Amino acid sequence: MTAPTHPLPTGPTPGPPKPTPASVQASHPAESTPAAGPAPHPARSTPASVPAPASRKGVPGPAEPARGAASSSLTGPAVRQQRPAVDPARWPDVAAPPRASRLRTALAERIVRRALARLPLRVRFAGAEDIGLGGPLMQIREPEAFFRRIGASGLIGFGESYMAGEWDAPDLVAVLTVLAGNAADLVPAPLQRLRPLWALRKPAAQLNTPEGSRENISRHYDLSNDLFALFLDGTLSYSSAVFRSLPATQDLLTAAQHRKIDLLLDAAGVGEGTRLLEIGTGWGELALRAAARGARVVSVTLSAEQRELARARIREAGYDDRVEIRLCDYRQITGAYDAVVSVEMIEAVGEEFWPVYFTTLDRLLAPGGRVALQAITMPDDRLRASRSTYTWIHKYIFPGGLLPSTEAIERVTTGHTRLRTVRRSGYGAHYAETLRLWRERFTERSAEVEALGFDAVFRRMWTFYLAYSEAGFRSGYLDVQQLLLTHDRSPAQEAL
């Protein structure tokens, strides 16, 4: 899963601190998708498998109230929240608003007030003044801190202000859906044209070189298996499910995740004797289902922990002779395969490496073979406008990620490879429902998340991430697609 990137400005660098997790249960069934989209990233759609050791730097225990009072449960209608306790050692950029000039803060306030006043929202400042056209309630409890953060770091400041409890919403998804649906118009056109002057740039350290990819993925997927197990379904699938009908319910999520996998395997023509390459092992669910069809599977991951647990599950299922899990970067793969499947992995590749990624798929695909991808996509105009911007998602959730557009995929494949998209199916509404189910379960199990060592700021951050992603799909700003690609064949080749 890879979260959406939005077109507003952003700020500094570090990611969330890692907690003291409980021991992982290797018996958890899991799914196979790679690490970006959200969506997503390269070992992506399922979490990294073994929890971080307690000796790792930045390991949080139960937070001592450093600022404000401890928060209550996370989101949903009629939730009343106090400001969370913020440990400045763990969350230095959340503990206090950054320095910003009065001019910059005043300009941010003017732009934001102007934008909010024109939206179907009810925005309440410090419990008194309301602006907006009416709609979901957004409560800005500390306007001065809120505007200063946005003035200093744009959308990063917007997210950090939520993490700090300076603003809230009884229905967070509804508020963020309005904002996502109007994302292209929130910043005035003249300022949009000056974007290169004020937008924060992605740090060079997040470039998805082989070494950078390993570090970027670890920061998200090595948080804790137990954390992911608390809010995902029993397969630990961390990518969009495909439901028979909407809206969805928790009891249907496992079947919908299997349906997603089966659609991809069917598209790739996976059956008895198929030589299948999976890029992004996850915890092995796709490899298991492919092996059950009689395929010979090579699956690659960048996570040693994922590899260890996936191998254990493969052995337990009796498929050692059919599945090989390799610890390597997609760029290092050799061989020829009848089918290649990769789920929400491209979002973690980085635009600079999209040609390398698709050239690798082209090189590895045997004559007559098929590539089945699941990818989160964004509109091409927004990709072009925000491709180099550093966002809250990059800082706290998915370093190095970028969502492609369908047009960008076509430009890369036609310009660099023989691969051509022959079929495309969209499931954006299904991802919105998948994220809703994850978010609701995360909220319901907040006390268990806290017991794993994840403090109130982390829980608000994770809630914001899930709601932010859900809003992207509900507004139509984002889509998730399954694509089938094959080698382009000339009429002369077809006649052979």
pLDDT at 283 (0 to 100): 84
pLDDT at 127 (0 to 100): 73
Which residues are bridge partners to 8 per DSSP? none
- Is the pLDDT confidence value at 148 over 50? yes
pLDDT at 214 (0 to 100): 67
pLDDT tens figures, 297-316: 999 998 777 788 889 889 99
412 CB-near residues (< 8 Å, 6+ apart): 354, 355, 358
pLDDT band at residue 327, thresholds of 50, 70 and 90?
very high
Q: Say if residues 182 and 119 touch (Cβ distance below 8 Å).
A: yes
- Is the pLDDT confidence value at 20 over 90? no
| 300 three-state secondary structure | strand
**How many CB atoms lie under 10 A from the CB of residue 327?**
15
pLDDT tens figures, 47-86: 333 333 333 333 333 343 344 443 333 444 434 456 889 9
| 403 three-state secondary structure | coil
128 CB-near residues (< 8 Å, 6+ apart): none
**Range in 232-236, 402-406, 415-419, 429-433 with the lowest mean pLDDT:** 232-236
**Range in 233-237, 258-262, 319-323, 479-483 with the lowest mean pLDDT:** 233-237
pLDDT tens figures, 233-247: 988 889 999 999 999
**CA gap 141, 161 in Å, rounded:** 10
**CA gap 129, 119 in Å, rounded:** 16
488 CB-near residues (< 8 Å, 6+ apart): 418, 419, 420
- Is the pLDDT confidence value at 23 over 50? no
Length, in residues, of the chain = 496
Q: DSSP letter at 84?
A: P
Q: Say if residues 338 and 275 touch (Cβ distance below 8 Å).
A: yes
pLDDT at 28 (0 to 100): 33
pLDDT at 225 (0 to 100): 80
pTM of the model: 0.82
**How many CB atoms lie under 10 A from the CB of residue 279?**
29
pLDDT tens figures, 188-233: 666 665 555 556 666 666 666 766 676 776 677 778 888 988 999 9
Alpha carbon distance, N-terminus to C-terminus of the chain? 41
SS3 content of the chain, % helix, strand, coil (to 5): 45, 15, 45
Q: Alpha-carbon Rg of the chain, whole angstroms?
A: 22
Backbone angles phi, psi at 32, to 5 degrees: -115, 60
- Is the pLDDT confidence value at 173 over 50? yes
pLDDT tens figures, 247-291: 999 999 999 999 999 999 999 999 999 999 999 988 889 999 999
pLDDT at 204 (0 to 100): 64
More confident call, 459 vs 216:
459
pLDDT at 232 (0 to 100): 93
